[in-house]
Structure 1
């Protein structure tokens, strides 16, 4: 194959120069070996490629056909080499990206815009699930990389995790709730109040964060329902109870819903981390490219 490639390359140069001496100089070789190489090529293809006289060298019809095909082969080979390079650098290919609901308000839009601008030729498949399902998807290879709320119990040695941002947990309530008059709400004020909590199964991470806050302050609201984030917002709007939500997850709606920070909480106790998770042995180069874009857009703490 290498010999054929070199012979075709030499043929193309001779065909472009129509002069063996000039072609030999372009190829940094002497003329006799070049002439021998062309004669061998003619024998291999079974056709005369050049008509030679003492004054000129011209392509035969077979030579013109071979020149056209050789140039196509060279262009295809060059394109193939460049495509492989782009794939190896993560500039082409595909990526299955998983994300949780709480990422759609801040992290996801920015990183998708930046990723598309930098790597427009990568095909993206988006999957929205709970964090537990996404981590399992990464572990089994169904998801390349995921943006999740990572509970320590979800992680194992097969996975890598990078913290992206930290969101403060805020008290979500109807805008006319008595606690909305406060600039910050003491955790103790939540004792016995109706509360919409996170499901330990569907929202394990947020469940653990909220339980940690309540346990540290020895406060126990009255749990009226357990669910996950989008439904919880609707339940608060329906006045079923209050809820703790990550700050970016709920836009304040004038006259309907509002949020307030918690007062008197130890540093970091009310922070919820967002992580990027991928397999340590990930073979898809696009994963590395995505993580680079993500880290350029977001750095913890938030």
Structure 2
């Protein structure tokens, strides 16, 4: 059985006034139609709600019970409408953000801080994963937005990508390494040195970027181990070799590791961070996240692309 909102409203007003004439005035209608509406309402729910006489109108026990429930229902309905409107406007709701580990060094904290300031009523959920997996999660609608590295093969018709930032790779090494005495390092100086490389399974983007740089400058590194950030830095601190890492990784400062920029490496040393979302995304909270990211990195934030 469906209780219609007009019938509930009419019942509440009559129950509050205990006078059909006064109730009709509040409802901007005449008394006879109101009396008929209440009788139909009683028949619909199968209970007498009022005791009527020529002198008074009183609630029955069933009517008193219904009045309490009906007022709560009306309040809940108003709150539901308010919640729907706030969600539609992006003031409340939920957002699930996926991110790759290197995005957490600099941009994820700023995004979260901005979100808590602008939209404190949005429930944020975080999901850390590999870039390739984040693309799958986006396509399957398990996350709303992703901060990721975009491997060359990461094209998906249902997704759009916007570049959030661009930075350069630098050389990470032990403090006691001979190259640590230099302010910057020419790429060719890396030829033949022991290197901690990136795993194809867990760090494909960085593996592709470093291999591209090696090929461009005809560098043949001695890859002694393959890993992923931040384990890679621990291996460097232990003396396993050197590595090319994002400049933002300098925020992670193991005691025995230092960083030096590459000299004249050009675009081959550049690495990008992307914001990805579904093309048909309709969650207002996603757009708010994009606006915050754009405010954080205005020189780099690019228009969406496929």
TM norm. shorter chain > 0.5: yes
Q: Distance in 2 between matches of 1:143 and 1:48?
A: 50
Structure 2 partner of 1:239: 239
| Offset of residue 133 of structure 1 | 2.6
Supply the RMSD in Å over aligned alpha carbons.
3.0
Q: Which residue of 1 aligns with 2:275?
A: 276
Alignment of 1:201-216 (within 5 A): 201-216=201-216
What is the CA–CA distance in structure 1 between the aligned matches of 2:42 and 2:156, rounded to whole Å? 63
Aligned 8 A contact 1:163 1:300 in 2? no
Q: How does 1:148-167 map to 2 (within 5 A)?
A: 148-167=148-167
Structure 1: how far apart are the matches of 2:171 and 2:49? 85
Structure 2: distance between partners of 1:50 and 1:121: 48
- 2:240 aligns to what SS in structure 1? coil
Equivalent residue, structure 2, for 1:122: 123
Q: How does 1:225-236 map to 2 (within 5 A)?
A: 225-236=225-236
CA offsets, 1:122-178, max 9 Å, x none? 252x33222223223333444443221111311221222122222221111112322
Deviations 1:246-290 (A, max 9, x none): 111233648621111111122x43221111223324466654454
The answer to whether 1:132 aligns with 2:136 is no
After TM superposition, the score normalised by the length of structure 2 is 0.83
Classify 1:6/1:252 alpha carbon distance in 2 versus 1 (closer, same or farther; 3 Å).
closer
Alpha carbons 2:173, 2:236 under 8 Å: kept: yes
Return closer, same or farther for 1:190/1:81 CA change in 2, 3 Å cut-off.
same
Unaligned runs of 5+ in 2: 302-306
CA shift digits 1:7-61 (9 cap, x unpaired): 221121122233333322322222332233223334444415143444x544343
8 Å Cα contact 1:50-1:63 kept in structure 2: no
Number of positions where the alignment pairs a residue of Structure 1 with one of Structure 2: 298
Determine the structure 2 residue equivalent to 1:92: 93
Partner of 1:102: 102
**SS class of match (1:15):** helix
Counterpart of 2:5? 5
Q: Per the alignment, in what secondary structure is the counterpart of residue 301 of structure 1?
A: coil
Q: Does 1:251 align with 2:259?
A: no
Q: Deviations over 1:91-127 (max 9, x none)?
A: 22463x3221212211222223333452445252x33
Q: Which moved more, 1:79-88 or 1:172-181?
A: 79-88
| SS of match in other structure, 1:147 | strand
Match of 2:304 in 1: none
Question: Unaligned stretches of 5+ in structure 1?
Answer: none
Q: Measure how far apart 1:297 and its partner are.
A: 4.0
How big is the shift at 1:89?
5.0
